[in-house]
Each structure stands twice: as C-alpha cells, then as structure tokens.
Amino acid sequence: MSKKDQAYFLSFSQPLFFKKGKLIFYQDGMPTGVFLIKSGKAKIYKTGTYGKDQIFYIYKKGDLFGYHALLCNENYEESCEAIEDCEVLFVNKYDFRLLLAKIPQIQTLIIQNISHEFGVLVNTIAILAQKNLRERLALYLVVLNERYQNENQKRTQIVLPREDLANVIGTTRESLGRLLKEFREDKLIKINKRAIEILNLKKVQEIANVDPE
C-alpha cells in the first residue's frame, strides 16, 4: 500500500498489549476485528481431540491476521497466543469492512496472504506425512530462523518453548530433546537455555532437503 493508504488504515487502529502466554483470540470464539503485529511474535494453532496442539504459523512484526473467520462470518477455527510480549494494532470488524471498500489494495494483499497461508498448510501436511523426524526438525529450524531474523541483531536466536517446537514438528518433547542434543553434538546448532542458534545453516538446509536461496 502507499504511505497515504497505510496511514489511513492505521488511523482506525487501537493499540493492544498481550503478555507472553496470553491468548489474542481463541478457538470457537467470535471474531471482532483484525490484528497487526507491531512488535513481538504470536503462534496460530489448533487444539485436537486429545488436547494436542498443532502449530501452523508464527506471526511476526508486520503480519496481519485474524481475518479468515471474519470474512467467512464464522467463529475462529484456531487459537492465537503471544509467544513473546506483543504490541498489536487492532481494527474492529466494522472499520475493517469500511477499509476494504475504501482501499482496494487491501483486498489484493489479503488474497495474497490467504494463498501463501494455504501453501504453508499444504506444505505442513506434506512435511508431516513424508519427512522423517530429523528432516522435519531441520526444515522447521530453517523456517523459524527466517521468522526470528532481526535486522538489528547480527545473530538469529530462535526462542520458542520446547513444547511448541515439538508440536510444530509433530513429536514428543522427549524425542525433540534427544534430537536437539544430536544436532548440538554435530555442531549444527548452539543452545543457550531456551534459545537455539543455527551454526551451520547450509548443513541444516541439506538435512532438510531444501535449496538455499
């Protein structure tokens, strides 16, 4: 969007603050608007029949979300939780619908986002079905490394609770712990408390069977 349109969009927003671990919205809840992350990160996930969570995406600064259920007039199919302290800009559903009519570019951006997120979902299903656990961990470390990159920092540290990382790759926390130990002993990663830093990105990409850009 142009700077003028961005400013107009943001003029309808109100700041909200969510501490780490707090829900931004919850599964089966009624949508009241859309959210734009100003700082921090949040996870989108669905809780299964046996209480097991499956994380689909990590939102970071600049990501707009929460519009799927709103556009479909349905309750949320998933939950969104702050995994860091988050400052979020909220636009209520009435203003958002007005903005959709006033700024046609928003519709294009949402279609692009939905297409991207659908691709992520399809890839997630394929990854869980076709790749072994070691490959899955390597692949998600590559993905999370990009999500956690900060232009103000020379090193990228992935700070994600082990339970969440286990849910992302579809395994138990115990199995994840053993595999992280192997990666560390192979000098692929460095672990400092909860933070994971990739030391050999090229090798991790090879294990994940992805081509570096």
CATH H-level, domain 3-127: superfamily? Jelly Rolls (2.60.120.10)
Query: CA-CA distances (angstroms) from residue 45 to 52, 78, 83, 159, 187?
Result: 10, 6, 12, 17, 31
Q: Where are the domains of the chain?
A: 3-127, 132-208
Q: Output the pTM of the full model.
A: 0.76
Given this chain, do its domains 3-127 and 132-208 carry the same CATH topology?
no
If phi over 0 gives left and psi between -120 and 50 gives alpha, with beta otherwise, what is residue 40? left
pLDDT digits (tens), the chain, 213 positions: 788 888 999 999 999 999 999 999 999 999 999 999 999 999 999 887 767 788 888 899 999 999 989 988 999 999 999 999 999 999 999 999 999 988 888 888 888 877 777 666 767 666 667 788 999 999 889 988 988 887 566 788 998 889 889 988 888 899 999 999 999 999 999 999 889 999 999 999 999 886 555
User: Selecting from 1.10.1660.10, 1.10.10.10, 3.40.50.10490, 1.10.3720.10, what CATH number does the domain 132-208 have?
Assistant: 1.10.10.10
User: What count of other Cβ atoms lies within 10 Å of the Cβ of residue 75?
Assistant: 13
Give the DSSP per-residue string, 20-67: TT-EEE-TTPPP-EEEEEEES-EEEEEE-TTS-EEEEEEE-TT-EESH
